[in-house]
Amino acid sequence: MVLCSLATVLITMALFLSCKKEASATPVAATSNDNMYNIAEIIQGKVFAGTISSNNDDSTLNINYNNGSQFVMVQNLPGQLKVNMPTLPSAELITSVYGVIIKDDATGKMVLLANNDAESIQKFEAVKAALKGRYTSTTTYGITVVHAEGTTPAQPSGGI
């Protein structure tokens, strides 16, 4: 009877330890170059996940996140690339004092909108290095973010 219980405990421990080792050996979300939570750390920003719509005029890109839970007004800098943003039914948005990053979850395409100061540009250069050329980027005159009351950032789905 004691041998049977001891054998059961040893088998259970062996299975548990082997499963645990296997799971920790493959942290896919944490090592992905375009993991938005890793990128947000670089620019000390917050990640939001949802829908994005926008409209442009000559001087401003206006972004509406999750039907008004956040508005982002991006003032274009003369001579810089003007970004046209389609409606994105599934997107991730990082807001930071250094700028804004938008990722289209359907295509994986990213748009980097950096503020026009030395520190912001330096932070976004680090983001560009991590992304290895898989983005569109421009420098802006300024970015204003308006949060609706009770808006909270998305929570990481994988370990960081």
Question: Does 56 fall in a domain?
Answer: yes
Q: What is the pLDDT of residues 34-89, one digit of tens each?
A: 589 999 999 999 999 999 999 988 889 999 999 888 899 999 888 888 888 889 99
Q: Which range marks the domain in which residue 107 is found? A: 32-147
Asked if 71 and 146 touch (Cβ cutoff 8 Å), the reply is: yes
Cβ–Cβ under 8 Å, residues 36 and 94? yes
Per-residue pLDDT tens digits for 85-118: 889 999 999 999 999 999 999 999 999 999 999 9
pLDDT grade for 158, boundaries at 50, 70 and 90: very low
Reading the block at residue 2, the tokens are: 């004691």
Q: Give tens-digit pLDDT for 114-134.
A: 999 999 999 999 999 999 877
Strand partners, 112: 101, 137
Residue 4: inside a domain, yes or no?
no
32 has a pLDDT exceeding 90: no
Output the six-digit token pair for 132: 């290895």
Residue at 18 is within a domain? no
The reply to whether 15 falls in a domain is no
- Asked if the structure places residue 53 within a domain, the reply is yes
Q: Which tokens go with 13? A: 């421990």
The pLDDT value given to residue 68: 87
**Number of domains within the chain:** 1
Neighbours of 5 (CB within 10 A): 9
Asked if 102 and 93 touch (Cβ cutoff 8 Å), the reply is yes
What pLDDT is stored for residue 134 in this prediction? 78
Beta bridge partners of 62: 55, 73
- What is the model's pTM? 0.71
